[in-house]
Amino acid sequence: MTDRLNKLTNKQILWILVGVWLGGTIILIAALGFGHRNNEFQIQNEFKLVNWTHWGVFSINRAVVYLFLAAFLTVGTMLWISRRMQMRPNRVQTAVETLYSLMRDNITRGNMPDSMARTWFPFLAALFLFLWWSNIIGYLPLPTNSEQTFNLFGAHIPSFALYASTANISVPLVLAVIVFVIFNVVGITKQGPIGYTKSLIPSGVHGPILLLIFPLEVVSTFTRLISLTVRLFANILAGHLIILFMAGGLAVILGLSFLGWALLPVAVLVYLFELGLIATLQAFIFATLAAIYIAGSVTHH
């Protein structure tokens, strides 16, 4: 049996997998048929925040747990790595050093003059790592959905769910507000209020056209707040929604059981795409844009 399996070429294996997938779909349609639309399952409930404690604004819900987890991982992994640094790096240290050089050379030094890069590296690196961990743990199923519980040896355990704190608009918004305040304050302290206002105007613009350009530039400064927030939040939310829909959500809502099997490969592909590319890319973009904005508020453009 194993001999015969080893003889198969890649193409044959691919065809067998396609056959299994197609056959499974047909068998499931034949066995279970078409169901009815299910109005009980609401997809937005998967992102609902239920307060677990009643401490007013300081109540703990799943987003707070994810935030604490991300903060703990950010600090913990970096401390752990820095304690056991070796001259001849092992695999983990090499990976972290790659990450470190990405933060130092690409995010910070690539966008800032060297003197500023030294000042702002800690902030930008912490921002990047925190967002990176937040996005990464968003793709691990954790038992956080306390609305639906399952029974394990008599204990009611919340069902496992995918959730990311960055898929909630308030977390990216707060981080964007921090970046917004920082680059405005840095600009005002370095150039003075008048100088900073003047620096908003693109060079080479004179005369009455200023009446048109200046409000536009002010508005575009505020738009940075929205674009930073929505880019991160919508990317993560849309990724989670697509994974949710493909990995069973659509089958439950439409009542078509075979969709759960038929769309599973899509779900796996989207999951790998989100975990491998989007999670890191969005953290990278957020930190890079923060660096560009901070550097841009000091220099005259």
Partner 1 sequence: MLTHVLSLGAASGLTKGFGIAIGGGLGAVGAGVGIGIIFGKVIEAVTRQPEMRDEITSIQWLGFALTEAVFFYGLVAGLLSYVLT
Contact positions toward partner 1, by CB under 8 A?
106, 110, 227, 230-231, 234-235, 238, 281-282, 284-285, 288
Q: Shortest gap between Cβ of 241 and partner 1 (angstroms)?
A: 9
Asked if residues 103 and 128 have their Cβ atoms less than 8 Å apart, the reply is yes
CA–CA dist 38, 256 (Å, integer): 10
**Among residues 185 and 238, whose Cβ is nearest to partner 1?**
238
Burial label for 162, CB within 10 Å (0-12, 13-18, 19+), is buried
The tokens describing 299, both together, are: 């220099």
**Among residues 186 and 287, whose Cβ is nearest to partner 1?**
287
Asked if residues 132 and 279 have their Cβ atoms less than 8 Å apart, the reply is yes
**Among residues 48 and 198, whose Cβ is nearest to partner 1?**
48
Asked if residues 176 and 293 have their Cβ atoms less than 8 Å apart, the reply is no
CA–CA dist 215, 188 (Å, integer): 18
Q: Shortest gap between Cβ of 64 and partner 1 (angstroms)?
A: 23
Computed from CA positions of residues 75, 80, 83, 84, in that sequence, does the dihedral angle turn out positive or negative?
negative
